[in-house]
Amino acid sequence: MKILIATAALLMMVSTLASAQDADHPYRGQGYLFFGVGPGVGSGYNPVIKQVGFGGEGFLYKGLGAGAEAAYAIGVTFR
């Protein structure tokens, strides 16, 4: 029961942070980099997939935006 009450209180506190955000963006776009490592499916003992990429988004008009991403992935098998 204590976990349920603590979870409910945490969710209420987190939701108040959203109302503190400013709706006016001082910028017209943003860019980002990402990477990841995860399990792969293949014929090997321990296949692993490594991925790296970048992306960007631009705000066009009143909440409408456009974005694109590019990534490179490689599979590695450890024996």
**Could you tell me the pTM of the whole model?**
0.51
pLDDT above 70: residue 61: yes
* Matching residue, tokens 């590695």: 76
Q: Are 52 and 72 in contact (CB under 8 A)?
A: yes
Higher pLDDT, 66 or 77: 66
DSSP 8-state assignment for residue 62: T
What pLDDT does 67 receive?
Answer: 94
d(CA 69, CA 53): 7
3-state DSSP helix/strand/coil percent for the chain, to nearest 5? 20, 55, 25
| Cβ neighbours, 10 Å, residue 31 | 10
Residue 54: what pLDDT?
95
| Whole-number pLDDT of residue 57 | 92
For the stretch 7-55, pLDDT in tens is 888 888 777 766 655 666 567 888 999 998 887 776 656 677 888 999 9
